[in-house]
Structure 1
């Protein structure tokens, strides 16, 4: 089962970020309102099939609910070691995303993204978020509302509910840190 004591908080954060009620989530899962409430309060543990259904409803990878390394009590919710980051995202070919934030319970999330050489998102995405990204290394082609930009190490950009897509046609990985509000993963 999930290796995080914050499973219920993460599920609640995903639900509220999508402005979904407990009742709506229960309906989409074919579960009772009470069951969803108990899961969010860590009073009930969902089965693997339940977690698969929850991941499907929120369009997140199942791995989001797993993979945090054990941490000393004083670090939980405060420190995220590089080896303990959770893999998240849509897992498009050539894009690796990990959660830098300790969990999904804040008004924002911080994501580390590595865009491999040749990777691209051809399909335009639009989210009801404000996102700011800082390029750590490499270069990335970025289309925001159809307008093309090239960003490189040291550059940053903001997307506020705009449509966007990206590509890394270069020979080196592009690495960025994103701050997204509200959380989407």
Structure 2
């Protein structure tokens, strides 16, 4: 089965358009928040205009993502672009402040979901509950993780999986070894 080729699947503009749409924003909405014209925003999404670093910071803030997700990632060979992400070419996402290091496994953010490789550092935890309008499924590859979903704490071990559908959640790795999980999140949040 042959699929239609993706139009510029790994471009900044494509990622911005996907993130904007996932948040239910129109071009006009985002342009207004950024105090920019709809035309400028449209040109950025079509890769006809390159936003400045300051623009990227403002866009990231408006979309609720880290600015690092908006930086270009390693280019894949033409025959792999939009299909394959090599281990050394994963895009870092999120913030490692709480001890969570995340990498995007999806080739870009243009799908209805994103796939994320998450490494929970030893003795790390997130203090505040996270609630987002998503459906998330995760699979623990290694380590052990305390995962609280809607007030109930569960201990996850390698091979265990979990699902969150908008419930408040938080995690902790009280162990001396990292915990590694693969998450699928819909719609994309990074």
Q: Same fold (TM over 0.5)?
A: yes
Task: State the alpha-carbon separation in 1 of the partners of residues 72 and 44 from structure 2.
Answer: 19
Structure 1: which 4+ aligned runs deviate by more than 3 Å? Answer: none
- 1:12 paired to 2:6: no
1:113 is the counterpart of 2:118: yes
Structure 1 range deviating more: 70-79 or 158-167: 70-79
Runs (5+) with no aligned partner, structure 1: none
Given that residues 135 and 153 in structure 1 are in contact (C-alpha distance below 8 angstroms), is that contact kept between their aligned partners in structure 2?
yes
Is 2:133 the partner of 1:128?
yes
Contact kept in structure 2, 1:92 and 1:121, CA below 8 Å: no
Alignment coverage as a number of residue pairs: 182
TM-score of the two chains, using structure 1 as the length reference: 0.95
Q: TM-score, normalised by structure 2?
A: 0.92
2:51 is paired with a residue whose SS is coil
| Structure 1 equivalent of residue 63 of structure 2 | 58
Counterpart pick for 2:89 among 79, 84, 101: 84
Of 12, 26, 31, which aligns to 1:26? 31
Distance 1:79 1:112, change over 3 A: same
Work out whether 1:137 is the aligned partner of 2:179. Answer: no
Gaps of 5+ in 2: 1-8
From the two aligned structures, give the one with the greater strand fraction: 1
Query: Does the C-alpha gap of structure 1 residues 30 and 96 become closer, same or farther in structure 2, counting only changes over 3 Å?
Result: same
Q: Displacement of 1:92 after TM fit?
A: 3.0
